[in-house]
Amino acid sequence: MIQQLRGTVLEAGATTFTIDVGGVGFKAFTTPATAAGLRLGEPVTVHTSLVVREDSMTLFGFDDPAERDAFELVQTASGVGPKLAVAIVSVLSPSELRQAISSEDLNRLCSVPGIGRKGAQKLVIELKDKVLLLAAATGDAPRAVAATGERWREQVEEGLQGLGWSSRDAAAACDTVAHLVEEEPDIAIGKLMRSALNSLAKR
């Protein structure tokens, strides 16, 4: 099991990245907020989870070990695969996930793309005891990267589309959160992403 990688960022997409570790390039899928925090050519440490299937091995990487732990935990629920797990940790921080499941906040869980009311109920039933394991998590937020100029819009739109939203919905979500950038010019990309996802969930 690959738990952690430390190397230099070679590529950073909306929901993927590649880092050079001793001359070997490791490609991993990630949340839009974590991807937005990566900078080409800079050293980085990512906390990883390797998902093994009969026909593939897929690596997922996160800025914070608590986020990785949440990603692995939700997959223990029936019907939750890696793609949905990434969506869950993209919308809910580990503490928010713990709170939503512990308090049976189905509306909060339904804010995740791909989770309906029945799916939310299943998460509560199957994870209510297990989610307490996240109580010792030390961090909830990805590396804070400030939104600069109009670059934030491109990053957020690409991230939302990477999670399955249409380009039209992604653009609308960016319009909805644009005032946050005006009010707080150095707002973190991760915070913008969560606000954009929340605005889409309310539609």
- When pLDDT is cut at 50, 70 and 90, the band that residue 22 belongs to is very high
The H or E element containing residue 5 is strand 4-12
Domain ranges of the chain: 4-62, 65-136, 151-201
pLDDT at residue 18 greater than cutoff 60: yes
Query: In the prediction, which pLDDT does 141 show?
Result: 45
Residue 182 pLDDT exceeds 80: yes
User: What's the half-sphere exposure (Cβ side, CA atoms, 13 Å) at 103?
Assistant: 10
Domain 65-136 CATH class label: mainly alpha
* 176, 22 Cβ separation under 8 angstroms: no
Say which residues have a Cβ less than 8 Å from residue 40's Cβ, sequence separation at least 6: 9, 10, 11, 12
> Which amino acid type is present at position 174?
C
For residue 135, pLDDT beyond 70: no
CATH of domain 4-62: 2.40.50.140
| CA dihedral over 177, 178, 179, 182, signed as positive or negative | positive
pLDDT at 51: 92
Burial of 95 (0-12, 13-18, 19+ CB in 10 A): middle
pLDDT in tens, 87-130: 899 888 898 899 999 999 999 898 888 899 999 999 999 999 88
Least reliable range by pLDDT among 27-31, 36-40, 65-69:
36-40
Which amino acid makes up residue 123? Answer: L
In the chain, the amino acid numbered 111 is S
- Answer positive or negative: Cα dihedral of 86, 162, 4, 144: negative
Q: Which CATH class is domain 151-201?
A: mainly alpha
- The structure's pTM equals 0.77
**Which two structure tokens, joined as six digits, stand for 92?**
């809910």
